[in-house]
Chain A
Amino acid sequence: MALQALSLGSEVDLWRPQTGAVHSAFARAVNLRMNGEMWTVLGANLPDTPFGIRLAQGGHLALLHVQAGDLVHVRAGYMRVGPLILDCRTASRWAPTRWPQPATDLEVRLAAIEQVARPRAWTGSAGLASEVTDALRRSDRDLARAVCRTVGRGPGLTPAGDDVLVGILAVLTCGASGPAGIRATARLVCALAPVLHSTPDVSRHLLDQAARGLPGRALHELGKAVFEGAPNDILANALDRVLDTGRTSGADACLGLAAACRFTFLTTERLAA
């Protein structure tokens, strides 16, 4: 069965031949294990990710034919996923871009986001978000403890705690966060390393991608809209796109994003070098 891809994430290179296997298959998305990376084939209505291959309309029906363990082959702009052949020659590319410095009244917008997101998030997420960002102001040991309590916590294919961390990392790596963000990211990655095994594969990969400054498009565009001071309707749309992700995943990430924004831009204390 042959399909066309609409868009590819910036990290997906379909001209370098490689093989992999299907990790997990769902109706609207299929995760692929590709030589240490995780790529995801997405139905047309899902937002891009840097590791995503987004299909043309109707693609999600075809995904039903794919099973975990199916082989994946990449060659010359084409991809075979189980029985599906994806023609990606003319797919457009999506890559995250640098966020600007946040406009004034950042706090107002963060509060607005939290107000919408909190009821849709897991009950413990807000607490985890502030725990981790607080710990970023303290010692590595405190951070390790906070991270340990967060990774793998809560419900979902991607545990709520992981989604909170993804939100935090999206801010720390957004470029506007500067050297402080880079340092905080490095410390967070160190703290994550020993506990990543305790969370499901898909989530582990998403954490890793977020830590490398490669979050999904929905979260990325929400952050940008927040920082740019975009008009309310654009901000609301962006927020809706994020909240659509999973049952609580999007909302959990929003809380992480808000907490990290406060940590990076609204705190008067300076981090130790």
Chain B
Amino acid sequence: MKALFQQDLKVANVGLQGFADNVAAAGGQVTHLSWAPPAGADAALGWTLACLVGDQRIEDANRLAYERYLAAQPRLVDLVLAKQAIPGLAEGERRILHSGPPIAWVDMCGPQQGAITGAILYEGWAQSLEAAEKMAAAGLVALEPCHAHGAVGPMAGIISPSMPVWVVENADRGNRAYCNLNEGLGKVLRFGANSPEVIERLRWLGSEFFTTMQTAIRGLGDANLKPLMAQALHMGDELHNRNAAASGLLFKRLTLALLASKLDSGVVQRALGFVAGNDHFFLNISMAACKAMSDAAHGVPGSSMVTVMARNGVNFGIRLSGTGERWFQAPANPVDGLYFPGYTVEDAAADLGDSAITETNGLGGFAMAASPAIVQFVGGSPADATANSRRMLSITLGSNPAFTLPALNFGGTPAGIDARLVIDSGVLPIINTGIAHRKAGVGQIGAGITTAPMACFNDAIAALAAELDAVPLNKRGAA
């Protein structure tokens, strides 16, 4: 028997509002959609997407991927030199990792080129910046995404063999993720600065600071990161643009570990002084933890869950759990924000860095409700910050109960972006981001909010569909 006849009709009206008004006037129940053509108005792709809705292969795959993501338990287990942890950077390899999707040297933005040049110098592969540049341009150093090696890096995201990297291990599945050290603000490598003082700092970070921190990490009482991050979320951090609380919580643990060690007090003082002076110290650990959680969800065939969002200062790239190592790239969207005095949008680099791995995991812009300060950069209010977090719920598979947001009635942060939902609803993942100067070495010139470009999700879904073989008929092109 047709079940519909026994139920109260509740209509979802897609199209002309008059039809909805009439149903309501006639006493019926109706919801009128604020509809716009999905998938960037590509009718053929819209049909492909429609055939993926409710596809049980995708639903099952997403369930598995999401389960693995929720079960992940990132632990800060070590600090080692990159060459010791990442095979691609082992002794004898001339390779440098960068943020974002793959990109050729000639296409890279200023900060990224500046940072690479600085790193070549740091490694001692060249003796001058000019020589280093020539080396990079000549292809004598392999340049690959951090993500291709299980790592992430903020801004230019440069990891070279002699740099220390955090080692975060997912206790649930054993996978590991790596991230470099945060150098602080101002003239730093990740903004493309490569002056002698930058290199000098890198050398200190790679020697005295490194050995001190390594002792601390290995002596940490509690290495679990999720509870620390959850606590920080309740203290005003969102763990992408605001990391002060988490950095403070970590500082407590590091101090105790170092006090218990046999290290010289001057060494300890310098190390702790460096950490204390950098409110973004935890960012790099947050990113590695997020990378470890995302990687746990990656590699489930048929899953439309987004496991990577990253930018290289030119393009924005994403990956889906179900499409393996493929990148789906598009030019990065502009950043809506405020500039520090003296700077304008003309000075800005395009969106840059692997730090969108935080949003990929429900933090950063997705946890904006926890840390509303950023909305001031776009003329908004704390209520807008909460609304932004809430809106992300419409494009995620669920919310992460480990990361609760008081402003959402202690509901979990929206987590597990389903690419199908992005292109169907038109709601783009929102990212809290700093803005770098487009010239190497100047540093941060503003902050604000941006979104991931629709085209990435369009391409990703098209690819997933092709692999699923889900489409029942030949697509018709838009008239």
Direct contact of A and B (CB under 8 A): yes
- Chain A residues with CB under 8 Å of chain B are 4, 15, 17-19, 56-58, 76-77, 87, 89-92
Q: Contacts of A91 on B, CB cut-off 8 Å? A: 63
Q: Contacts of B416 on A, CB cut-off 8 Å? A: 90
Of A19, A58, A76, A87, which is within 8 A of B398 by CB?
A87
A17, A58, A87, A89, most chain B CB atoms within 10 A: A89
A77–B62 CA distance with the chains assembled, in angstroms: 13
Give, as a whole number of angstroms, the nearest-CB distance from B479 to chain A. 30
Say whether B3 contacts A18, CB under 8 Å: yes
Q: A17-B3, A19-B7, A90-B67 are in contact. Are A4 and B399 (CB under 8 A)?
A: yes
B209 within 8 A of A: no
Say whether A89 contacts B59, CB under 8 Å: yes
Closest to B60 in A: A93
B380 within 8 A of A: no
Give, as a whole number of angstroms, the nearest-CB distance from A6 to chain B. 9
Q: Contacts of A17 on B, CB cut-off 8 Å? A: 3
Say whether A89 contacts B398, CB under 8 Å: yes
Say whether A90 contacts B54, CB under 8 Å: no
Say whether B398 contacts A4, CB under 8 Å: yes
B66 within 8 A of A: yes
Of B3, B56, B62, B398, which is within 8 A of A15 by CB?
B56
Closest to A35 in B: B3
Say whether B401 contacts A56, CB under 8 Å: yes
B89 within 8 A of A: no
Of B63, B397, B399, B412, which is within 8 A of A92 by CB?
B63
Q: Contacts of A4 on B, CB cut-off 8 Å? A: 398-399, 401, 412
Say whether A92 contacts B67, CB under 8 Å: yes
Q: Which 3 A-B pairs have the closest CB atoms?
A: A90-B66, A90-B398, A90-B397
A91–B54 CA distance with the chains assembled, in angstroms: 15
A15, A76, A90, A92, most chain B CB atoms within 10 A: A90
Give, as a whole number of angstroms, the nearest-CB distance from B412 to chain A. 8
Closest to B7 in A: A19
Q: Which of B1-53 contact A (CB under 8 A)?
A: 3, 6-7
Say whether A89 contacts B62, CB under 8 Å: yes
A92–B66 CA distance with the chains assembled, in angstroms: 10
Say whether B7 contacts A90, CB under 8 Å: no
Kindly supply a per-residue 1/0 record for chain B positions 57-91, scoring 1 wherever the CB is within 8 Å of any chain A CB and 0 otherwise: 00100110011000000000000000000000000
Q: Which of B392-417 contact A (CB under 8 A)?
A: 397-399, 401, 410, 412, 416
Give, as a whole number of angstroms, the nearest-CB distance from B420 to chain A. 11
Q: Contacts of A18 on B, CB cut-off 8 Å? A: 3
A154–B397 CA distance with the chains assembled, in angstroms: 46
Q: Contacts of A89 on B, CB cut-off 8 Å? A: 59, 62-63, 397-398
Give, as a whole number of angstroms, the nearest-CB distance from A24 to chain B. 22
Q: A-B contact count, CB below 8 Å?
A: 34
Say whether A76 contacts B54, CB under 8 Å: yes
Question: 27 pairs across A/B with beta carbons < 8 Å?
Answer: A4-B398, A4-B401, A4-B412, A15-B54, A15-B56, A15-B59, A18-B3, A19-B3, A19-B6, A19-B7, A57-B401, A58-B410, A76-B54, A77-B54, A77-B59, A87-B398, A89-B59, A89-B62, A89-B397, A90-B62, A90-B63, A90-B67, A90-B398, A90-B416, A91-B63, A92-B63, A92-B67
Give, as a whole number of angstroms, the nearest-CB distance from A65 to chain B. 14
A91–B412 CA distance with the chains assembled, in angstroms: 15
Q: Which of B281-323 contact A (CB under 8 A)?
A: none
Closest to A5 in B: B398
Closest to B416 in A: A90
Give, as a whole number of angstroms, the nearest-CB distance from B11 to chain A. 14
Give, as a whole number of angstroms, the nearest-CB distance from A272 to chain B. 43
Q: Contacts of B67 on A, CB cut-off 8 Å? A: 90, 92
A17–B2 CA distance with the chains assembled, in angstroms: 12
Q: Contacts of B59 on A, CB cut-off 8 Å? A: 15, 77, 89
Kindly supply a per-residue 1/0 record for chain B positions 117-144, scoring 1 wherever the CB is within 8 Å of any chain A CB and 0 otherwise: 0000000000000000000000000000
A224–B7 CA distance with the chains assembled, in angstroms: 43
Q: Contacts of A87 on B, CB cut-off 8 Å? A: 398
List 4 other contacts, CB 8 Å, given A90-B397, A90-B416: A4-B412, A77-B54, A87-B398, A89-B62
A19–B67 CA distance with the chains assembled, in angstroms: 28
Closest to A4 in B: B398
Give, as a whole number of angstroms, the nearest-CB distance from A16 to chain B. 10
Closest to A3 in B: B411
Q: Contacts of B399 on A, CB cut-off 8 Å? A: 4
Give, as a whole number of angstroms, the nearest-CB distance from B87 to chain A. 34
Kindly supply a per-residue 1/0 record for chain B positions 170-182, scoring 1 wherever the CB is within 8 Å of any chain A CB and 0 otherwise: 0000000000000
Kindly supply a per-residue 1/0 record for chain B positions 368-401, scoring 1 wherever the CB is within 8 Å of any chain A CB and 0 otherwise: 0000000000000000000000000000011101
Closest to A18 in B: B3
A121–B75 CA distance with the chains assembled, in angstroms: 46
Q: Contacts of B63 on A, CB cut-off 8 Å? A: 89-92
A91–B416 CA distance with the chains assembled, in angstroms: 13
Closest to A15 in B: B54
Closest to B399 in A: A4
A57–B397 CA distance with the chains assembled, in angstroms: 17
Closest to B67 in A: A92
Give, as a whole number of angstroms, the nearest-CB distance from A45 to chain B. 14
Give, as a whole number of angstroms, the nearest-CB distance from B30 to chain A. 16
Closest to B410 in A: A58
Q: Which of B413-442 contact A (CB under 8 A)?
A: 416
Give, as a whole number of angstroms, the nearest-CB distance from A115 to chain B. 38
